[in-house]
């Protein structure tokens, strides 16, 4: 399997198998929502988009953050995995207002399959890729912004690539990179109250969940769905 790389500046128009990575925090938060039983997640890139989607999906919960990670007034949850951990979200649809992650998904709408990933479901994503066995996969890093290095997403991409190549890996090394990235360090900064340290603790965990997150397009909107990648007693992926 050929493993390719892209970022937000170079991912537009990608086809084939694509994995869009957003560790801090969008696709980690989404994973914790699915772990709580959420049925479907609808990523949007603006508050206005979220409000419009609420009209189309009555009863959907809202989560997300504005610039700098600030909570959005009247939303049910912020873009916080710590706030979702342990919540009973069984059967709920969630509208998720996010930035880099959804930009990556929108740019790759021609990809098939298209996956969203973070460190908490990295190995499950690899299981999915091995099951589908594409000739090539492109890993899209979304966290490389003008004011940060994006190494939290690069670390996740490197981890997925190493697993795909069957290389010996120490998950702890990639966890440390998430924590020490430019953005990761802000979660321990008292000047960043909208980035709680607890969120970093929930994001900087390798392989917590046994599902991948597949993207399907419904009426032009991206939606996330969990795809179980558990193994049975014989080692086969379910």
Answer whether residue 233 is part of any domain: no
Q: Quick one: CA torsion of 157, 70, 39, 36, rounded to 10 degrees?
A: 80
pLDDT score of 236: 45
Q: Is 194 exposed, middle or buried (0-12, 13-18, 19+ CB in 10 A)?
A: middle
pLDDT tens-digit map of 162-213: 999 999 999 999 999 999 999 999 998 888 888 999 999 999 999 999 999 9
Answer whether residue 185 is part of any domain: yes
Answer whether residue 234 is part of any domain: no
Query: Mind listing the pLDDT tens digit of every residue in the chain (238 residues)?
Result: 999 999 999 999 999 999 999 999 999 999 999 999 999 999 999 999 999 999 999 999 999 988 778 888 999 999 999 999 889 999 999 999 988 899 999 999 999 999 999 999 999 999 999 999 999 999 999 987 757 788 999 999 999 999 999 999 999 999 999 999 999 999 988 888 889 999 999 999 999 999 999 999 998 889 999 999 865 444 444 4
Answer whether residue 182 is part of any domain: yes
Q: Is 67 exposed, middle or buried (0-12, 13-18, 19+ CB in 10 A)?
A: exposed
Answer whether residue 238 is part of any domain: no
CB neighbours of residue 91 within 10 Å: 9
Name the domain count of the chain: 1
Q: Which residues contact 126 (CB under 8 A, 6 or more apart)?
A: 160, 163, 164
Q: Which of 210, 206, 207, 209 is nearest to 228 (CA)?
A: 210
Answer whether residue 146 is part of any domain: yes
Domain that holds residue 25: 2-228
pLDDT score of 146: 59
Tokens of 56: 């189309």
Answer whether residue 235 is part of any domain: no
Answer whether residue 36 is part of any domain: yes
106 with 22: CB under 8 angstroms? no
Q: Residue 195 belongs to a domain with what CATH number? A: 3.90.1560.10
50 with 44: CB under 8 angstroms? yes
């Amino acid at each position: 399997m050929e493993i390719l790389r892209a970022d937000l500046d170079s991912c537009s128009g990608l086809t084939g198998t694509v994995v869009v990575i957003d560790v801090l925090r969008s696709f980690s938060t989404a994973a914790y929502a699915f772990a709580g039983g959420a049925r479907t997640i609808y990523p949007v890139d603006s508050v206005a988009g979220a409000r419009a989607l609420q009209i189309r999906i009555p009863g959907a919960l809202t989560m997300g953050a504005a610039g700098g990670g600030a909570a959005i007034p009247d939303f049910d949850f912020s873009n916080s995995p710590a706030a979702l951990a342990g919540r009973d979200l069984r059967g709920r649809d969630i509208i998720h207002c996010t930035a880099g992650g959804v930009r990556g998904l929108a740019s790759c709408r021609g990809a098939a399959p298209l996956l969203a990933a973070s460190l908490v479901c990295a190995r499950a994503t690899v299981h999915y890729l091995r099951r589908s066995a594409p000739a090539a996969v492109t890993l899209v890093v979304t966290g490389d912004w003008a004011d940060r290095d994006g190494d939290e997403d690069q670390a996740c991409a490197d981890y997925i690539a190493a697993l795909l190549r069957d290389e010996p890996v120490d998950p702890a090394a990639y966890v440390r990179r998430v924590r020490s990235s430019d953005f990761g360090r802000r979660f321990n900064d008292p000047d960043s109250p909208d980035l709680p340290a607890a969120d970093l603790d929930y994001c900087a965990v390798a392989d917590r969940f046994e599902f991948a997150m597949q993207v399907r397009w419904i009426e032009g909107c991206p939606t996330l769905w969990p795809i179980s990648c558990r193994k049975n007693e014989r080692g086969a992926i379910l």
